[in-house]
Amino acid sequence: MASAANTNLNAVRETMDVLLEISRLLNTGLDMESLSICVRLCEQGINPEALSAVIKELRKASESLKASENCTN
């Protein structure tokens, strides 16, 4: 039983490593934790295109906030 669990865990790790490499090749800017969260959300039925749009909007808002903070300092 433990052997099957280890095999499954190794398969999950390998899959995440491959997804992270693809993510890096595509310059998504996602780290392993963020990518893992995105994968889990997609597995739970979240629309990947909608998730992508939300991530883009959050990045724009973050950049805008950083820019406004730099202007005030």
**CA-to-CA distance for 21 and 33, rounded, in angstroms?**
13
pTM of this structure: 0.79
Pull the structure tokens for residue 66.
């950083």
Tens-digit pLDDT string for the chain (73 aa) = 678 888 999 999 999 999 999 999 999 999 999 999 999 999 999 999 999 999 999 999 999 999 888 888 6
Q: How many domains does the chain have?
A: 1
Structure confidence at residue 29 (pLDDT): 93
Q: Which domain holds residue 59?
A: 1-71
Q: Convert 14-34 into a string of H (helix), E (strand) and C (coil).
A: HHHHHHHHHHHHCCCCCCHHH
Pull the structure tokens for residue 14.
């390998």
Mean pLDDT of the chain: 93
Pull the structure tokens for residue 30.
């996602």
